[in-house]
Amino acid sequence: MTGRGTGRRTGRGTGGGTGGGGLRQFRWEIGVWLALILLMGATLGLAYLPMGAGNPAAALALALAKLLLVAVFYMHLRSSRPVVRLAAATGLVFLVALFALTLADVLFRLPAAWQ
């Protein structure tokens, strides 16, 4: 039987391979880890740099970058089928809806909004 669900990779494995030796075969995984640790260091360092409203913005931007690295490489969204990517995106889209409309209320109730 052919069609949906067959004849395509299941999108497993981001790097390495069956052959080869040493750490080179895991270069993707290790490279992503290095990037994650660097980003974590940057998050920590920037937190001590007075930037006002820039502090939470930078922290969230860096967290988002880390999330993308984990999702795209470690969770294999890079090579996943569209339906899997759709599932991943749907959760985030509706989270944005929850945030946006809740804050549409809360932001307009802040003391600053009354003045």
Partner 1 sequence: MTMATESAAFDGGPPAPAGSYLTAGRGIASWLLTRDHKRIALLYMVTLTLFFVIGGVSAALVRLELVTPQGDLLSADGYNQAFTLHGIVMVWFFLVPLIPVSLGNFLLPLMIGAKDLAFPRLNLFSWYLNAGAGLLVIYALVAGGIDTGWTFYTPFSTVYSNSHVFLAAVAVFVAGFSTIATALNFVVTIHLLRAPGLTWFRLPLFVWALYATSLMMLLATPVLAMVLVLIALERVAGIPIFDPAQGGDPLLFQHLFWFYSHPAVYIMILPAMGVVTELLTCFARRRVFGYRFMVYALLGIAAVGFLVWGHHMFTSGQAAYASVIFSMLSFLVAVPSAIKVFNWTATFYRGSIRFTSGMLYGLGFVGLFTMGGLTGLFLAAIPIDIHVHDTAFIVAHFHYIMVGAVVTAFYGGLHFWWPKITGRLYPEGWARFAAILMFFGFNLTFFPQFILGYLGMPRRYHSYPAEFQVWQVLSSGGSAVLALAYLLPMAYLAWSLVWGRRAGANPWGAAGLEWRAASPPPEHNFTDEPVVDGPPYDYHPQGGPT
Partner 2 sequence: MSSRPDSIRPDSIRADSIRAGHFPDLPRQRLAGELGMWVFLATEILFFGGLFTGYAVYRLQYPDAVTEAARHTDVLLGSVNTFLLLTSSLLVALAVACQDRPGLRLCRLFLGGAIALGLGFLAVKAVEYHADLAEGLVPWPGSSLPPGPQRLFFAFYWAMTGVHAVHMTVGIALLGWMFRDLRARPKLMRGTARLEVAGLYWHFVDAVWIFLYPLLYLVGRAQ
* Cα radius of gyration rounded to whole Å, the chain: 20
Asked if residue 7 binds partner 1 (CB under 8 A), the reply is no
Indicate the residue among 91 and 115 with the shorter CB distance to partner 2: 91
Task: Count Cβ atoms below 10 Å from residue 62 Cβ, excluding itself.
Answer: 19
DSSP assignments along 19-81, one per residue: S--SGGGGHHHHHHHHHHHHHHHHHHHHHTS--TTHHHHHHHHHHHHHHHHIIIIIT-GGG--
Asked if residue 112 binds partner 1 (CB under 8 A), the reply is no
Least Cβ distance, residue 53 to partner 1 (angstroms): 22
Residues in the chain: 115
Residue 63 contact partner, candidates partner 1, partner 2, none, CB within 5 to 8 A by sort of partner: partner 2
Residue 104 contact partner, candidates partner 1, partner 2, none, CB within 5 to 8 A by sort of partner: partner 1
Q: Backbone dihedral region of 76: left (phi > 0), alpha (psi from -120 to 50 degrees) or beta?
A: left
Indicate the residue among 6 and 18 with the shorter CB distance to partner 1: 6
Residue 57 contact partner, candidates partner 2, partner 1, none, CB within 5 to 8 A by sort of partner: none
**Residues engaged in binding partner 1 (CB under 8 A):** 1, 3-5, 83, 90-91, 94, 97-98, 101-102, 104-109, 113
